[in-house]
Amino acid sequence: MTLARNAAMALVVLLLVVAGVWSSWNSAQHVLLPKGREHGTLTVTGCTEEMCSGRYVSDDPASRHHTLRIAHSVAAQKGETLPVVVKPGTDEAVRAGWGGGLHAWLPLGGALVLAAPLIGGGMRLVRTAWSVAGVGAAVLVGAFFAL
């Protein structure tokens, strides 16, 4: 019975972590693998509930982008200038640097925090659970302070 419980908990933990990586990778790939992507700065000119837009100045003078959109949670306020990486084929940008990287991995941090009680309570791996929770909390707190 113990083996079945541990296997079930391990499967749920694996599902949580894979879902966190899957949802994080959409933005994280642009921040972590920036070679070959367009870089520049975005000056926020206006925001809606979900998105902000602004004037984009590329590091490459042959850029076709002049205005871009970015998630409202990443753009702090109107008039702020942010380093960004442009998602290929779109007019969307993701914030570059530590702040953007940590923000991109927020879903994984949340998944790790959610998986920790399952590891500690269901699998009886208390030290591992505290370690997983600590890494998840560090991502969440780091993103809060980096942005």
Domains of the chain (ranges plus CATH)? Answer: 1-33+97-147 (no CATH), 35-95 (2.40.50)
Residue 127 main-chain phi, psi, to 5 deg: -65, -40
pLDDT score recorded for residue 111: 97
pLDDT score recorded for residue 75: 64
Residue 33 main-chain phi, psi, to 5 deg: -120, 65
Helix (H/G/I), strand (E/B), else coil: 42 = strand
Q: Which segments of the chain have a pLDDT < 70?
A: 75-76
pLDDT score recorded for residue 8: 94
For 14-23, b where at least 16 C-beta lie within 10 A, e where not — what string?
eebbeebeeb
pLDDT score recorded for residue 48: 87
Helix (H/G/I), strand (E/B), else coil: 92 = strand
pLDDT score recorded for residue 114: 96
pLDDT score recorded for residue 141: 95
